[in-house]
Amino acid sequence: MEIELLMKRAEELARKYDISYYEVRIAKINATSLAMQNSQLEELSSNTEIGIGVRAFSGAWGFSSANDIRRAEKAIETAMKIAKINRGSSKVHEDDPTSEKAYIKTKKDFENIDLEEKLNLVREIDRLLKGDKIVNRKIIYGEGKKWQFYFNSLGSEIETLVPKIRLSFSATAKEGNDMQSYWKVFGGTRGWEVIERINFEEWTSFVKDKAKALLRAQLPPSGEFDVIMDPELAGVFIHEALGHASEGDAIKNGESILGDKLGEKIAVEELTVVDDPTLKGKFGSYIYDDEGVKAKRVEIIKNGVLNEYLLDRETAAYLELEPNGHGRAQSYNYQPLVRMSNTYIEPRDWSFEEMLGEVKRGLYLIGDKGGEVDIANGTFMFGAKEGYLIENGEIKAHIRDVALSGKILDVLKNIKAIGKDLKIEFPGYCGKGQWVSVDDGGPHVLTKALVGGLL
């Protein structure tokens, strides 16, 4: 069905069902993925998908979606019917209409690279990962382009194109009954240039060596320790310890412990935390969110003070604030939710060596193994890929399988030092009933946390 015709039909149906606000997303997604394990290609797929997602509002939301485009009009009508039945008294932020074609451009379009070259890439990585004690090698390459046309009842018409590329590889080492893995992920809203910049010899050696070294690493101690986090771990730390609790829907629903703390000092003065979807080429970047709101840099914490929540149209209206472009949906068949994008800790002026000198007995923890948060109780946890014991300012034994836990309102005040070496290059996915691509990072950070070690 022609988009213009659909727009006209949506207008007519909105009048019929007395709908005050509606928005429609029509998306076309091209995705290619390759997966290889121990030299065996396990997946090679290339698919295109078209679908429509519709939200209608009349004090409460009605949503419908279809992946058969012939059902597009039906999806619009269904969403509006639902909204009509489900009238409520909530509000939604309505802004001035925008018309824009916002394409994220790449230096080298991955769709112009032969499939054979991509196959050679995974074969080559597989070859490089081979080695003594390495029993498993796994490589996953994925690329996708999402074209989306968004229109709403305010007259906005926004056409976006977001390219994404991601490459991950892992090695598992085995000795006797003991096995350990290590992995590395690259990615961004960029093109094939991401792949061309990787030094594969170096990174595959690094991953193999780490997997093997972890076989000899000790189990971590348990208890409360001073902990230096590397930039990657600092990223997942701030994503879990602050990001989720600052999402507007958690505030609106009374779930987050940061509910009435806007303007309050909740962290050390040195701490500034940013969520910025406008960073060029990062995995969590976009120009417009899925509610047709322009992406904005948000300072969640500014000099220790809770400064701003992450907001979408609905939570902004509820809190009587301006939306800041954080309404994101996994795909056309999901309703937008308040989500993070690229979340990081602003650097300060500590060097790593100075930080190390501050620690009598503690841990230096490296790499992100994911995390989780309970925003109601204000407790979070996250895992590190590896670490080292620190004794009297010196790095000692290698440790493995480390996870930490902390209380949001304590841990942000326990930060003792923030480094100057900012890195935001750790692409991943964040789950909240839906998966969205994110990035996070920071400099090295010294804090205190509960370490759940086996010793």
Partner 1 sequence: MIDELIRILNHKNVEWEIYWEAGRGSSFKIERGRLERAQRKYHSGIGLRIGYKGRQGFSYITGLNHDRATLEKFVNRTIKLAKVSEVPFLGFAKESKFKRVKGLHDRKIEELSFEDAIEYAKVLLEKEKELKEEIGKAYTLSGSLAFGHAVDGIANSNGVEKQEPSTAMSFGLYIIKREMGKNGSGSYYKGFRNIPDFEEELSKGLKSALRDADLSFNAKQESGFEGEVVLEPHTAVSIIGILMSNLYADNVYHKRSRFENPGVDVANEAFTLIDDSTIEGKLGSYSFDGEGNPSQRTVLIEEGILKSFLFDEYYAKLMNAKSTGNAVRDFRTTPHIGTSNLIVDGRREDLEDLDNAVVIKKVFGEHTANPISGDFSLTVELGYKIEDGELKPFKDNMFVGNVFEVIKSINALGKKEEELGGFISPRILTFGKIV
Q: Which residues, numbered 184-213, are part of the site for partner 1 (CB under 8 A)? A: none
Which residues within the stretch 270-309 sit at the binding site for partner 1 (CB under 8 A)?
none
Which stretches does DSSP call E strand in 260-410? Answer: 273-275, 298-302, 305-306, 327-328, 337-338, 342-345, 361-366, 371-374, 379-391, 394-407
Which residues within the stretch 131-170 sit at the binding site for partner 1 (CB under 8 A)?
135-136, 138
120 scored as a contact of partner 1 (CB under 8 A) = no
115 scored as a contact of partner 1 (CB under 8 A) = yes
> With respect to partner 1, which residue has the nearer C-beta, 62 or 419?
62
Site string for partner 1, 305-344 (x = CB under 8 A): ----------------------------x-x---------
> With respect to partner 1, which residue has the nearer C-beta, 276 or 386?
386
Which residues within the stretch 229-248 sit at the binding site for partner 1 (CB under 8 A)?
none
> With respect to partner 1, which residue has the nearer C-beta, 73 or 276?
73
> With respect to partner 1, which residue has the nearer C-beta, 9 or 81?
81
Which residues within the stretch 363-382 sit at the binding site for partner 1 (CB under 8 A)?
369-372, 374, 376-382
d(CA 409, CA 180): 34
DSSP 358: T
Do 230 and 367 meet the contact criterion of CB atoms below 8 Å apart? yes
Shortest Cβ 55–partner 1 spacing (Å): 9
Q: Which of 179, 319, 395, 422 binds partner 1 (CB under 8 A)?
A: 179
d(CA 93, CA 326): 13
Q: Which stretch binds partner 1 (CB under 8 A): 78-86, 150-158, 356-364, 413-421?
A: 78-86
For residue 32, the cross-strand partners are 46, 143
Nearest Cα residue to 134 out of 33, 34, 35, 39: 39
Site string for partner 1, 32-51 (x = CB under 8 A): -----xx-xxxxxxxx-xxx
d(CA 324, CA 277): 10
Q: Work out the burial of residue 121: count CB atoms within 10 Å of its CB; fewer than 13 is exposed, 13-18 middle, 19 or more buried.
A: buried
How many alpha carbons fall within 13 Å on the CB side of residue 146? 23
